[in-house]
Homo-oligomer: A and B are copies of this chain.
Amino acid sequence: MSVERHFDRDLDGLREAILRMGGLCEGMIHSAVKLVIESDPSLLPGITEREDRVNGLHLEIDELCLNLLALHSPAAGDLRLVAAALKVNSDLERIGDQAVNVAETGCFLSNLPQMKLGDVPRMAELAVAMLKDSLDAFAKKDVELAKSVIRRDDEEDRLKSQTFNELRSLMQSDASTIQRALDMILISRNLERIADHATNIAEDVIFMVLGQDIRHGVVPVDDVGDETRAAAPKSGS
């Protein structure tokens, strides 16, 4: 096999490993939220089993990336793909951690009288959709989809603050809810962190495709891809 064909095969393998890891994370969040909603701790082992696979892929993908850099010295767009993969890998691993946190807190909650879930199911739905779309954007190099992920993060932040305020009021009016309300606050913060990581992935996709680093608001998301306003691509294109 030629060096170029080895390289293409390795890049395909890298993309495929990222998407496999992303799929595991999506499933973990789904199960963790189901565990909370249905007070069903029997879902925990399936989640921790997938965490082990996510952690294995975390190490494997970093090694794939370093091997690609060492063997093929990629440039321009290929280099940006490898750099994006390193970052997406780290975000996915943290998403897996957050899903486990949701599930573990859900197990504590399942021993207590049920309380209303408020916006938590909506936060979960939004976070999973953002993750799924950020991974689709990575797979299809779809800048518009990545931009739509970034735009949705404000709604998740708003839901997190609203949930926090509602649960604090509930604790203040009824002390018997304190333990459960605290746990729900932790769960809503885990979900908001998942949405943050999906946003990071979307930003990495934009950098990978366009060579534009839009983090920290240096390019407003609505200006992304607009050549008249955007900075020139970095590291070639």
Contact = CB atoms under 8 A, between A and B. Distances in A.
Interface of A: 55-56, 58-59, 62-63, 65-67, 69-70, 73, 75-76, 79-80, 83, 86-87, 90, 168, 171-172, 175, 178-179, 182, 185, 213, 215-216, 218, 234-236
Contacts of A90: 87, 90
Contacts of A87: 86, 90
B168 A172 contact: no
B66 A80 contact: yes
B70 A215 contact: no
A190 B70 CA distance: 37
Nearest to A59: B213
Q: Which 9 A-B pairs have the closest CB atoms?
A: A73-B73, A55-B216, A66-B235, A171-B178, A70-B235, A172-B178, A175-B175, A70-B75, A59-B213
A65 B66 CA distance: 13
A84 to B, nearest CB: 11
Contacts of A182: 168, 182, 185
**Oligomeric state, in copies:** 2
Nearest to A54: B216
Contact of A62 (B56, B59, B213): B213
Contacts of A75: 70
Nearest to A80: B66
Nearest to A185: B182
24 contacts: A58-B216, A59-B215, A62-B213, A63-B234, A65-B83, A66-B79, A66-B80, A66-B83, A66-B234, A66-B235, A67-B235, A69-B83, A70-B79, A73-B73, A83-B86, A86-B87, A171-B171, A171-B175, A171-B178, A172-B175, A172-B179, A175-B175, A178-B178, A182-B185
